[in-house]
Structure 1
């Protein structure tokens, strides 16, 4: 196993090992310690305490002591889960990785101790959900998201082999009693289903991983042949141009939709959900403003593009926010960021002494904006600037008393009747049109 590990980590030096204290991660930790004797590597451990078990604090102590014994730096983080919510396994995993990413240092590579049995379980869980080739591909040995690299060095080794190696090297590890609780899907497969399948077909676990690999290869092949279409449809702002999508075959359309949704790092909708995107959004009337909600996000269409968004925040249509202390930043509602004086901001006429600076989110009347020859109502200005409907009431509009100055960072009102003697520079930080 040492030689295989060395090949896998070739030319890589800095690692963050996810150390639960269980059998798998304990073996991986000690393999790294052995590798360190012959190869110049640097690694730290991270332990996530989910507080789900009465013994969880003892497990944290165990991991801390083991790392101290071998002079391995360790980070221990506590994560609190709401036990009343469903799908605890998925939520624990999500929160665990958030903490791992948060504590990852530059140049470090994440190492987890997933093994061959874990891969089989993941494959069966994907099968239970009715997943396609992408889901059935299960876990990859090497994974890269943005600049984060995640390697699973033990993915081709079965659990029995790891246990034999641990006993031979007299290692100490934690036995989690919750692993016997078959109310959890993964434990149910591990304790009840897979042993029966393995007894009937001894090579079942290996064959599952082979099927996962075939699915992964097919997914890569499909992506290769649809690359040109994807380049033409997926825009740089992660929107999807649907101009010609309705003319594609359903199978190709599904691949494009899946690829586009995966760019946003959200859970993939079901097969029915993908079909609904086509029937209710892509194929709806041009005049419509359709949307579909999927758990924590929604998909909307504006003109010839699809947008994947977080649920729209409450309307700010009737809000007025006065900015009395203009030397300090003004916080905006709905997590829209803040307005501040900034030399890198937009050059605007400054207010007169008696004018009250205020932010609103609607304006009535017709206005002439810089670069245009004719006055237009605000609705027409938004259309001209291609601003989607759901963003408009969350864009801060700058007023001096009741005089409309402009939409920060988007347009400025042109007023020929007012002479300007002084200017200032304003920025809207983290504004919604850049999200």
Structure 2
């Protein structure tokens, strides 16, 4: 640990460090992600000099032998600066994927949990981190979006993440930290070249910087150019969605097939990303989309992604999120919010009713078993549910998951709702007959 003390005074910090901190976006609560290392420790000092009410958040991954020492150092640092500190210990899944990715996922889950509406979380990433990120993504294989590197600002849960020092080099941060006597703790894993990013940092980047002294600025320029290109691609997708998309979140095949191959890929990737889903790294995008467009009516092609798939039905493309459907029927109780696949169901009392909950009829939710018939009115004949769903244009995968709601009484069972497609008059509108109103909403189009 480097020796130092509390130096949090506004007039002691150079302009290139304090200037970006003084220009932060407005926020309700300001946080600094504090790892205990040089970068985040220095950032907390500078931020505390400008914003007395800043709070710090330390995530202890419990992976390094000195993790207790690092946590104590963060506590002492915040105590000396008069900064409120929140410490969260997480368990990192070391059996799935890379350790770096798992630790990052665990860390960001905490960030999302802590941040409230309009909160701002500062991170101390700098120009060297940005260059490493761009090069690392290039070597792994990426598109323009990946080569744009880390954005200065982005949404994170209910709040936002902000990186004020992406234009400052690591050597400059270390120079200022030593001059000001800032204390920090070294992470022993940062020296191990087993991790790819550490290999880039210690064995690749020094040689590149020596050969091309302006490397960091060049990479930053490339990242900005790629970011601008990505913005233009998104804007194009938004414009083309106006002609290809519909109010149900689907893509209409006729105008979509008229687009060029690059435009199709761009629109579909924008579609996936807009739903908060990871875009698949497919090598055969054009071939996969051609199959969706030109497949015969008896075929069911699909593009598989992580947690979703893209399917075709009746001249539309559907983005189908992966969901769990209850295997057995469930009772729907008053005031309960029942999650059922892509739908949520709820029984609420009629605003004019004084009926107690104990008098609510038994309501049961289930899926199709086959052979069901529905009567849509007291004086109407019953109809085959299968035929009716086909007439409504409900895709096959949704028919199997659709929540069917029935009222169970001494007189028998009576269907009162078919997903969000139809609801009996007794349980819709004012619900005067039953005293209860059934609300079925689709929460994932």
Query: For the superposition of Structure 1 and Structure 2, which TM-score range results when normalised by the shorter chain?
Result: 0.7 to 0.9
Q: Which moved more, 1:327-336 or 1:276-285?
A: 327-336
**2:92 aligned with 1:67:** no
1:25 maps to 40
Aligned-partner SS, 1:196:
helix
8 Å contact kept, 1:391–1:432: no
**Distance apart, 1:232 and its partner CA:** 2.8
1:264 maps to 275
- Structure 1 residues 27 and 252: alpha-carbon distance in aligned structure 2, compared to 1, 3 A threshold: same
| CA deviation string 1:220-245 (max 9, x = no partner) | 23334454213333445544333321
**2: CA distance, partners of 1:12 / 1:341:** 37
**Distance apart, 1:397 and its partner CA:** 1.7
Q: Which moved more, 1:168-177 or 1:132-141?
A: 132-141
**Counterpart pick for 2:386 among 358, 379, 382:** 379
| Structure 1 residues 44-193: aligned runs within 5 Å | 44-144=55-155, 148-193=159-204
**Distance apart, 1:289 and its partner CA:** 3.5
- Report the TM-score, using the length of structure 1 for normalisation: 0.83
**2: CA distance, partners of 1:177 / 1:372:** 77
| CA deviation string 1:183-220 (max 9, x = no partner) | 22211211222122222222223211211111112222
| CA deviation string 1:67-103 (max 9, x = no partner) | 1221111221122111111122223222212211211
- Structure 1 residues 150 and 276: alpha-carbon distance in aligned structure 2, compared to 1, 3 A threshold: farther
**Distance apart, 1:256 and its partner CA:** 1.0
**Distance apart, 1:146 and its partner CA:** 8.1
| CA deviation string 1:91-144 (max 9, x = no partner) | 322221221121113332121111001101110122123211111111121224
Unaligned runs of 5+ in 1: none
8 Å contact kept, 2:348–2:437: yes
**Distance apart, 1:14 and its partner CA:** 3.7
**1: CA distance, partners of 2:184 / 2:277:** 34
**2: CA distance, partners of 1:236 / 1:173:** 53
**2:365 aligned with 1:359:** yes
Count of aligned positions? 416
**2: CA distance, partners of 1:424 / 1:77:** 47
**Counterpart pick for 2:242 among 214, 221, 231:** 231
- Structure 1 residues 109 and 373: alpha-carbon distance in aligned structure 2, compared to 1, 3 A threshold: same
**2: CA distance, partners of 1:54 / 1:120:** 29
**Distance apart, 1:307 and its partner CA:** 3.1
2:436 maps to 425
1:16 maps to 31
Unaligned runs of 5+ in 2: 1-15
| CA deviation string 1:27-63 (max 9, x = no partner) | 1111112223xxxx63211111122222223222221
- Report the TM-score, using the length of structure 2 for normalisation: 0.82
2:324 maps to 313
- Structure 1 residues 414 and 67: alpha-carbon distance in aligned structure 2, compared to 1, 3 A threshold: closer
- Structure 1 residues 284 and 50: alpha-carbon distance in aligned structure 2, compared to 1, 3 A threshold: farther
**2: CA distance, partners of 1:43 / 1:281:** 52
8 Å contact kept, 2:343–2:444: no
**2:307 aligned with 1:301:** no
8 Å contact kept, 2:53–2:83: no
Q: Which moved more, 1:55-64 or 1:271-280?
A: 271-280
2:10 maps to none
Aligned-partner SS, 1:267:
coil
Aligned-partner SS, 1:85:
coil
Aligned-partner SS, 1:369:
coil
**Counterpart pick for 1:390 among 397, 403, 411:** 397
1:244 maps to 255
2:264 maps to 253
Q: Which moved more, 1:358-367 or 1:253-262?
A: 358-367
8 Å contact kept, 2:126–2:170: yes
Aligned-partner SS, 1:423:
coil
Aligned-partner SS, 2:435:
strand
**Distance apart, 1:172 and its partner CA:** 0.6
| CA deviation string 1:131-170 (max 9, x = no partner) | 1111111112122468633211010111100000100110
2:217 maps to 206
8 Å contact kept, 1:240–1:260: no
Q: Please give the root-mean-square deviation of Cα atoms over the aligned residues, in Å.
A: 3.4
**Distance apart, 1:385 and its partner CA:** 3.6
**1: CA distance, partners of 2:258 / 2:50:** 55
